[in-house]
Amino acid sequence: MCYKEITCPRCCSRNIIKNGITAQDKQRFRCKACRRQFITDYSYRGCQLQFRQMIVPMTMNGSGIRDISRVLSISCGTVLSVIKSAASVIDEPSVPKRIENLELDEFWSFIAKKAQQRWTWYGFDRERKQVTAFVNGRRTDANCRALYKKVKQAWVKTFHSDQWEAYRKILPLKKHRIGKEGTQNIERRNLTFRTRVKRLQRRTICFSQSEVMHDAVVKLHIHHLNLQHHHF
C-alpha cells in the first residue's frame, strides 16, 4: 500500500485531517495548525502553482491582464489578485548612501480615461543602472518634492533633469544640471518601461482600470529591472 504525505499549502504543517467531500467528489482536507481548508487535486488552473508562477513574468514581458487570462485559461480576477499580492510583498528600491549622477524624469499614463493621468516620477542612478526611488501621482510640484525627499537620503554629486519647472524649484541649484545630454540613460529607461509594460504603451487598447493595479505593475517592473543589475 502506498501512502501520500499531505502538507498544508499555507503553513506546511503535516497535522492534516479529512474534512468532507467537495461537490466534485474530491476529498477536502483541513490543517489543524492554521485551519486552512484545501484539496490536493485542483482542476482549476488558477489554483495550480505552475500557472500562478507564470503571471508576473508574463506581465513583465508585455502581456496584459486579458492576454494572460486567455493564454493560461484562468480568470482575470486570479491574474489581478496574483499581481497585487506579488507587489505587496516587495520593498521599494533602497537608496544608496552615495550617488555620483542621479537622473530624474517622469512619464505618464492614465487610469480608465486619458483625462485621469497618472505620472511616475523616478530617479535613475547612472553608474549602478538602477532606479533609486519613485513616486506615482499627478505632475505637480508636490510629487516632485516627494521624490526629492526620498533621494536626498543619499549624498548626490550631480542631479540631471530636463527643463520642467518643478526641478528648477526643488533641486539644489549648485548640483543641478539641465539638458538632454544628461538624461539620455533615463530616457532610454522610459522606452524600456513602455516596451515591456503593455498598459504604458502609447498606442494600445490596454490601460489601467485602477490606481492600485497601475502602481502595482510599475512597482513590480522597477523591482524586476533593479534585480538585473543587483551586482552593483
Structural contact between residues 62 and 200, judged by C-beta atoms closer than 8 angstroms: no
Model pLDDT for residues 74-104, shown as the tens digit of each residue: 999 999 999 999 999 999 999 999 999 999 9
Q: How many helices (H) and strands (E) does the chain have?
A: 8, 8
Structural contact between residues 52 and 77, judged by C-beta atoms closer than 8 angstroms: no
All residues at 6 or more sequence positions from 196 whose CB lies less than 8 Å from its CB, including other chains: 60, 61, 62, 221
Q: Whose CA is closest to 78, among 28, 33, 42, 40?
A: 42
Architecture of domain 98-227: 2-Layer Sandwich (3.30)
All residues at 6 or more sequence positions from 67 whose CB lies less than 8 Å from its CB, including other chains: 58, 198
Model pLDDT for residues 31-80, shown as the tens digit of each residue: 999 999 988 876 667 777 888 899 999 999 989 999 999 999 899 999 99
> d(Cα 150, Cα 123) in Å, to the nearest integer?
9
pLDDT for position 2: 57
Model pLDDT for residues 130-184, shown as the tens digit of each residue: 999 999 999 999 999 999 999 999 999 999 999 999 999 999 999 999 999 999 9
Whole-prediction pTM value? 0.80
One-letter amino acid for residue 42 of the chain: Y
pLDDT for position 232: 46
